[in-house]
Structure formats: C-alpha cells, structure tokens
Amino acid sequence: AQSVTQLGSHVSVSEGALVLLRCNYSSSVPPYLFWYVQYPNQGLQLLLKYTSAATLVKGINGFEAEFKKSETSFHLTKPSAHMSDAAEYFCAVSESSGQNFVFGPGTRLSVLP
C-alpha cells in the first residue's frame, strides 16, 4: 500500500526566500504524485502533478516539483515566497494500479514579511 510522509508540519520562510516543502512516498508500483494547496476555510486545489512524463513538473503560482525515483521524493519548491503562498500544502500519491489518493499529513507554510 502506498503512503506519504511530509517532513516538517510547519515551515516558515521570509517573503522572497526559497520555499522547499518535502515529500517522500512509498509505493509498490509506479506512482502518480500530486501537490495540493489548501487556503484557510477552502477546499483542496491542485498545484501540480507527476504522471510519468517529465520528472520536473511546473505548476501554478510559480511552484515546481521534481520526481526523484532513487530518493522516492517529490519535493515542492518555489524560488521566491509571496505572502499569498501562506497555506497548508498536501502531497498525495495514487498508485497506477489503484484508484484512491493517499494524502500526506500536510505542511503549513507561513510567510513572514
């Protein structure tokens, strides 16, 4: 069965600094990987997804993530944080043989002025 870990339940960065949110997964079959963002009192919005094409995936709002099979990682990055990036970020994995997504525990990103 697949699982997801996200290192750091809370990450704080200064405005303009690099954002790095970590995600590691375990899966017995080739996975599909996703990053979702949740703003306060809102639903989950897709940032980007990896589905076995290019290993470097670009998403919305300047975010990107790199799939590294050898490290079983799919870390999310953004070169320069903006105040509006403050939110909860969830990494999710879906196995190619299965249907349901499994979400990581989430990382709350705070952006300091």
Partner 1 sequence: EPEVTQTPSHQVTQMGQEVILRCVPISNHLYFYWYRQILGQKVEFLVSFYNNEISEKSEIFDDQFSVERPDGSNFTLKIRSTKLEDSAMYFCASSEVVRGGELFFGEGSRLTVL
Question: In the set 22, 72, 98, 110, which binds partner 1 (CB under 8 A)?
Answer: 98
Rounded Cα distance between 55 and 70, Å, is: 12
- In the chain, the amino acid numbered 34 is F
As a whole number of angstroms, the distance between CA 85 and CA 68 comes to 24
Q: Which of 51, 72, 77, 110 binds partner 1 (CB under 8 A)?
A: 51
Nearer to partner 1, 53 or 56 (CB): 53
Per CB under 8 A, which region of 14-22, 38-46, 55-63, 73-81 contacts partner 1? 38-46
Three-state secondary-structure class, residue 7: coil
Closest approach of partner 1 to the CB of residue 41, in Å: 8
Both tokens of 105, joined, read: 């525990």
AA letter at 77? T
Residues that bind partner 1 (CB under 8 A): 32, 34, 36, 42-46, 49, 51-52, 90, 92, 94, 96-106
